[in-house]
Structures are given as C-alpha cells and as structure tokens.
Amino acid sequence: MKKSVRFWRRMLIACILALIALPCGGVVLLSLQNAKLRDEIETRVIGGDDAVTIGTTSYDAASIVRQKPLLSYQLLYPEMKASFSGFNDDLVNPKTVFLTFDDGPSTSTLPILDILKKHGIHATFFVNGKSSVFASSWLKQIAKDGNTIGMHSYTHQYSLIYASVENCIEDLNKNYLYIKNTTAIAPTLVRFPGGSINTYNLKIYPPLCAEMLRRGLIYCDWNVSAGDAIKDATSESMLENVLNGVKLCWGPAFVLMHDNGNADLLKALPQIIERLQAEGYTFAALDNTVRPPMFVYPEEN
Ligand SMILES: [Zn+2]
C-alpha cells in the first residue's frame, strides 16, 4: 500500500515538473526561432547593415526602395530625376489658368510667345525632340521668356514608347537631355503623349506613372481641352471649348493646346486670354509645386 502511494506521489511530481518544463522549453525554442527569422528579414530587406529598424518610426520604406532598386527600368538613366518637395496648394489661386502647349517647338512657337508676352503672361510647353537648328532656337526662346518647358517624349511614337516601361524611359531620357542641353534647365515635369492613361499604354501605365513619381518627375494631365488638334476645329470652337471648360473647373484650369503650326489656334489664343482675364482669371506657368490633374485609374469591373 505504502509503495503504491509513493509511486503515485512520484508520478504526480513528475507530471507537475513536466507541465512546467514543457512550456518553458517551448518558449525558449520559439524565441530562438523568432530571433532567426528577424535576422533573415532584416538581411533580405535592408542588407543587414542599414540603421533601419523594423517596427519603429525610423523604418522608411521609400529609402529602402531608393537604395535597392528591384526593377530593371529603375536602373536606367538614374540621372533623369528631379528634386520634389511636395505640392503647395496654398500658392495657387483657384482662378488660375495654366495654358499648356504640346508637341512643339514648331513654327507656332514664336507667334505663341509673342501673344503671351503681349498679354504679360507665362505658359508651359511640353516639347518633343526636334533635330533642326530652328527648333533649338525656339526652345531656347521659350525658356528665355520665362516659360516652363516639360517633357513630352522625344519621338511621340505611341507604338514605340508604350511598348514597355524601358522603352518609355529610354525615350524620355533623350527628351530630358535635349531640353537640358539646349536650355541649360533640367525639366521636372512630364506630359505623356495621349495623357497618363490612354488606349496605348493600358498594360504599362501603373508602373510607368509610379516610376516617374519615384524619380521626382511630376506628370501633368489636363482638365480642359481646346480641341485644337481635332479635325475641323476652328478658332471659334477652340475659344468656346476653353471658356466653357475653364468655367466648369472647381479649381485651377489646366488647358491642353498644341504648338504645331495651327493658324486657327494663333487666332483664338489672344481672345482666350482676354476673355478669361476680363472674368478675373490669371495665368501662370507650371512648376513642380503645383498639383496637376492626374487621370485616375479606371475602375475594375
Ligand atoms: Zn502630343
């Protein structure tokens, strides 16, 4: 009887000890595993040496992306970038009109510049690459007059530039160097041919737009179109399109027009400016402190 009691007492003590020891062992094992995984994560994400600690406020995903480009096109032409310190919405009066001219320089450039000068205003020119010496002098004049020059691709060939993000970066870099080498001013703005989302770039626009912003380059779409590139457009239709469009804007208006030798636009432009000035609108050239319209991603069905 005594033996049996002793046996059961020992069994009870053994069970209690086991109940204490097992969880303790588990805790030690899990802590070791946790430390190992943490080391692995830090090594993979930041190379192990950076002074970045996961789970604290010093964690900066953007700086990691900047330091460790993961995608091939992020390595292309790293010098094509701009310093961007944020939009300053307080500086822009809602009754501001930003006139923008795409596709130049052209034979229209100097007449457009004359009209702008005569009215004491500035505008923005999103230009393509042009090889003629005339084009270079027109480009220089745009900058000399205090207007802004942005990129609009070198070739403007949709099938080429929208075949891949790499192609587009390659083309934009040519455009960037053309502007920088001709005017001594590095562009900070981009207008994609056809806008940031169009039927030609549907497969690549999300990474393409993200890549522009990663480089500090701001892409600008528009919220008013003069319709000057449409077949059968007249100076009257352009005037009407702009006046109606600007009035529909909730805030500043970003007007799409073209610098492409269209005589009707040259006829409409002074009237556009004068009519809007008479209604209290002011005009300005864009820079990268102005928040531009950016076309939104279409909703998935
Ligand atoms: Zn264009």
Residue in this structure with the two tokens 């204490």, named with its chain if needed: 20
Alpha carbons 237 and 235: distance in angstroms, whole number = 6
For residue 262, how far is its CA from the centre of ligand 1 (angstroms)? 14
For residue 259, how far is its CA from the centre of ligand 1 (angstroms)? 9
For residue 257, how far is its CA from the centre of ligand 1 (angstroms)? 9
For residue 197, how far is its CA from the centre of ligand 1 (angstroms)? 13
For residue 222, how far is its CA from the centre of ligand 1 (angstroms)? 12
pLDDT truncated to tens, each residue of the chain (301 aa)? 577 888 888 888 888 888 888 888 888 888 888 888 777 665 554 444 444 444 445 556 666 666 665 788 999 999 999 999 999 999 999 999 999 999 999 999 999 999 999 999 999 999 999 999 999 999 999 999 999 999 999 999 999 999 999 999 999 999 999 999 999 999 999 999 999 999 999 999 999 999 999 999 999 999 999 999 999 999 999 999 999 999 999 999 999 999 999 999 999 999 999 999 999 999 999 999 999 999 987 776 5
Indicate the residue type of 16.
I
Contact indicator for 140, 91 with CB cutoff of 8 Å: no
For residue 78, how far is its CA from the centre of ligand 1 (angstroms)? 25
**Range(s) of the chain covered by CATH 3.20.20.370:** 89-283
For residue 102, how far is its CA from the centre of ligand 1 (angstroms)? 5
SS (H, E, C) the chain: CHHHHHHHHHHHHHHHHHHHHHHHHHHHHHHHHHHHHHHHHHHHHHCCCCCCCCCCCCCCHHHHHHHCCCCHHHHCCCCCCCCCCCCCHHHCCCCEEEEEEECCCCCCHHHHHHHHHHCCCCCEEEECCCCCHHHHHHHHHHHHCCCEEEECCCCCCHHHHCCCHHHHHHHHHHHHHHHHHHHCCCCCEECCCCCCCCCCCCCCHHHHHHHHHHCCCEECCCCEECCCCCCCCCHHHHHHHHHHHHHHCCCCEEEEEECCCCHHHHHHHHHHHHHHHHCCCEECCCCCCCCCCCCCCCCCC
For residue 56, how far is its CA from the centre of ligand 1 (angstroms)? 46
The whole-number pLDDT of residue 250 equals 92
For residue 282, how far is its CA from the centre of ligand 1 (angstroms)? 25
The whole-number pLDDT of residue 43 equals 52
Fold of 89-283: TIM Barrel (3.20.20)
For residue 105, how far is its CA from the centre of ligand 1 (angstroms)? 11
Residue 26 token pair: 């588990």
For residue 163, how far is its CA from the centre of ligand 1 (angstroms)? 17
Among 159, 135, 150, smallest CA distance to 189 is for 150
